Amino acid sequence: MIWFSEGERIGLRALRADDVPRWTQWFNDPAVTADLNKGLYPNTEASQAEFFERIHASRHDVLLGIAALRIPAGELVGVIGLHHIDWVHRRADISIVIGEASSHGQGFGTEAIRLITAHAFDTLNLHKVTAGMWATNLGSRRAFEKAGFVLEATIRQSYWHRDRYVDEWRLGLLAEEWRG
């Protein structure tokens, strides 16, 4: 396995075409998409493959698989990305999904966030990375805060969730804060 970046328990690797079926399954699973802006419409392997090709060709997005380092090494448990990379203002937005239910609550999200943040600051020379999530997604917020991100804004009633509107949290981290 060739790793893009390695942590203690997970690594980031290039996504492959044979990952598309698993990825598609996650985005059709209500348990995975409950607090995401996904799952509102059925996701097909064809649409996911089209997205994979589009993102792979982009120079404003980096999307990687989150995979186990140990047995079974390379098994995909989630995806993480830098999106809307602004090369002039040197900023990007992080997205993350831990799709495998057995991997929830294990700290893989925080580890993946730290790895992609290091890439953003140390390799891409970005100045700031941000992340947004529904205010119902406490696990995501905790993972980003453990990785050093701070709450910058609460955007009121941004998303319709089940039977009510929920707020959006926006978190951010500057390169100088990352480097300490």
pTM of the complete model: 0.94
Domain that holds residue 44: 5-179
| CA dihedral (17, 22, 23, 25) positive or negative | positive
Kind of pairing between the strands at 76-86 and 62-68: antiparallel
Burial class (CB in 10 A: 0-12, 13-18, 19+), 158: middle
Tokens in use for 48?
């996911």
Kind of pairing between the strands at 150-161 and 128-134: unpaired
95-114 pLDDT, tens digit per residue, is 999 999 889 899 999 999 99
- State the Rg of the chain over Cα: 16
149-173 pLDDT, tens digit per residue, is 999 999 999 999 889 999 999 999 9
Residues 71-97 as b/e (b if ≥16 CB within 10 A, e otherwise) read: eeeebbbbbbbbeebeeeebbbbbbbb
Give the number of domains in the chain: 1
2-21 pLDDT, tens digit per residue, is 788 999 999 999 999 999 99
Q: What is the CATH number of the domain that holds 13?
A: 3.40.630.30
